[in-house]
Amino acid sequence: MSPVIFFKDLADDTRLKILLMLELEQELCVCELTFALILSQPKISRHMAQLKSHGLVLERKVGRWIFYRLSTQMLDWQYTTIKKCLTNNSNFIASCRLTLDKMGDRPNRQQECCE
């Protein structure tokens, strides 16, 4: 992926929040992302499809649920950019984290939305 495409992905606040939340949580299902970002499932799914097509996220299917995590194929500079962005801008996703915390911790959170 070219740097231009990578930074265009990061330029969208929803995609950036998703990537930062995935870095923070390691893995999230679509329902957790919709809850945390207060967005519809179709909107989250469109963003995830773009991030997946650009090689930034990987998916794992469990039944009808899809779990996402940052791609292990991501280039070092890309991962470092995401990690440093999270480290230096944690306030950018503070409301998402608080909203996700309302769901409780895993595994209860996962059972609540993914069962």
pLDDT in tens, 44-79: 999 999 999 999 999 999 888 889 999 999 999 999
Query: Sorting pLDDT into bands at 50, 70 and 90, what band is 13?
Result: very high
pTM here is: 0.91
What are the residues whose beta carbons fall under 8 Å from the beta carbon of 21, sequence distance 6 or more?
28, 33, 36, 37, 93, 96, 97, 100
| DSSP labels, 11-34 | HSHHHHHHHHHHHHHS-EEHHHHH
**Cβ–Cβ < 8 Å for 92, 20:** yes
The CATH class given to the 3-114 domain equals mainly alpha
For 78-98, write each residue's pLDDT tens digit: 999 999 999 999 999 999 999
